[in-house]
């Protein structure tokens, strides 16, 4: 297993059939993929293409790669009735999340009042000219979406058996080293040293959303990075954590975030009908629920 840092998290790569040298070699190539995504889509790099778009006025041309991300983001926003909405960048900035997260260094004595923001659906995308027109009220934050997409892209470069894990967003190819499935521990959001359940995954992706890590204080109150677009503020969910298993990491990430924002009842209803999708819901009272197609290891 080889690790490197990207997107403000540790990325782990494992390919059981490879030698340590081969594994390191492929990890180097995957690191380049992550770096390219970050260089293009990070909200925290002023020179990134996304940052330039967030500053630009009027209609601007963008790269096909960024255009693809934006087009898919718009689709997800429509599919989730606006719950998953990358147009929340302005709210995050107003709450103090205006730089790469560093625990303990985000606190502010006072913060700007969150302002109502536009929707991703207000962004005009022209696939013919590959141009974007962004309303002034929309500041885009593609964080989770791009991370999921990058994990998917990196995993596609692996042989038939292996995994890429970017801080909990993971794609696991094949059926694990012994053919019995990859074991994925779902962390306990109240105690990171423990895990609540171990999932068995084969050719699947997993992503987890919780407000337990990216938390800070601003203006005397606790906030976190999961913004509810309906109220333009940190979400107040009856869930403490959502883990989603899906065919790809991008979908898992979008579903986990959406499920967290809409709460347990709606999350069950959303996840259950989806083919190849399952989840682990952790309620704020500590209860753990398995939803849909998830296999659990009783080790």
Give me the residues that bind another protein (CB under 8 A), please: 1, 8-9, 12, 14, 16, 20, 163, 165-170, 172, 176-178, 182-187, 189, 192, 195, 198, 206-214, 241, 243
Pick 68 or 101: Cβ nearer another protein? 101
Pick 70 or 166: Cβ nearer another protein? 166
Shortest Cβ 58–another protein spacing (Å): 35
User: SS3 sequence, the chain?
Assistant: CEEEEECCEEEEEECCCCCHHHHHHHHHHHHHHHHHHHHHHCCCCCCCHHHHHHHCCCEEECCHHHHHHHHHHHHHHHHCCCCCCCCEHHHHHHCCCCCCCCCCCCCECCCCCCCCCCCHHHCEEECCCCEEECCCCCECCCHHHHHHHHHHHHHCCCCCCEEEEECCEEEEECCCCCCCCEEEEEEECCEEEEEEEEEEECCEEEEEECCCCCEEEECCEEEECCEECCCCEECCCCEEEEEEEECCHHHHHHHHHHHHHHCHHHHHHHHCCCCCCEEEEEECCCCEEEEECCCEECC
Pick 76 or 182: Cβ nearer another protein? 182
Shortest Cβ 109–another protein spacing (Å): 26
Shortest Cβ 215–another protein spacing (Å): 10
Shortest Cβ 133–another protein spacing (Å): 32
Shortest Cβ 205–another protein spacing (Å): 10
Pick 25 or 81: Cβ nearer another protein? 25
Shortest Cβ 181–another protein spacing (Å): 11
Pick 97 or 182: Cβ nearer another protein? 182
Pick 20 or 128: Cβ nearer another protein? 20
First-to-last C-alpha distance (Å) of the chain: 22
């Amino acid at each position: 297993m080889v690790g490197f840092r990207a997107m403000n998290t540790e990325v782990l790569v494992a390919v059981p059939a490879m030698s340590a040298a081969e594994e390191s070699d492929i990890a180097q190539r995957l690191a380049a993929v992550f770096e390219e995504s970050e260089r293009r889509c990070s909200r925290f790099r002023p020179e990134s293409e996304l940052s330039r778009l967030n500053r630009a006025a009027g209609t601007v041309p963008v790269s096909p790669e960024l255009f693809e991300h934006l087009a898919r983001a718009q689709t997800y926003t429509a599919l989730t009735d606006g719950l998953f909405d990358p147009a929340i960048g302005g709210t995050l900035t107003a709450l103090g999340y205006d730089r790469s997260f560093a625990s303990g260094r985000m606190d502010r004595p006072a913060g700007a009042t969150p302002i109502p923001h536009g929707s991703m659906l207000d962004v005009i995308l022209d696939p013919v000219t590959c141009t974007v027109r962004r309303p002034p009220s929309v500041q885009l934050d593609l964080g989770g979406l791009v991370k999921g997409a990058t994990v998917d892209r990196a995993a596609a470069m692996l042989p038939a058996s292996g995994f890429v894990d970017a801080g909990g967003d993971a794609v696991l190819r094949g059926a694990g080293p012994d053919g019995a499935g990859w074991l994925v521990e779902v962390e306990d959001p109240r105690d990171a040293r423990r895990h609540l359940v171990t999932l068995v995954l084969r050719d699947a992706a997993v992503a987890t959303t919780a407000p337990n890590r990216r938390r800070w204080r601003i203006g005397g109150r606790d906030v976190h990075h999961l913004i509810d677009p309906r109220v333009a503020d940190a979400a107040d969910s009856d869930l403490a954590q959502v883990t989603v298993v899906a065919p790809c990491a991008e979908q898992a990430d979008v579903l986990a975030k959406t499920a967290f924002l809409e709460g347990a009842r709606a999350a069950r209803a959303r996840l259950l009908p989806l083919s190849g999708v399952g989840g682990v819901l952790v309620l704020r009272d500590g209860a753990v629920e398995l939803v849909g197609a998830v296999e659990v290891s009783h080790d």
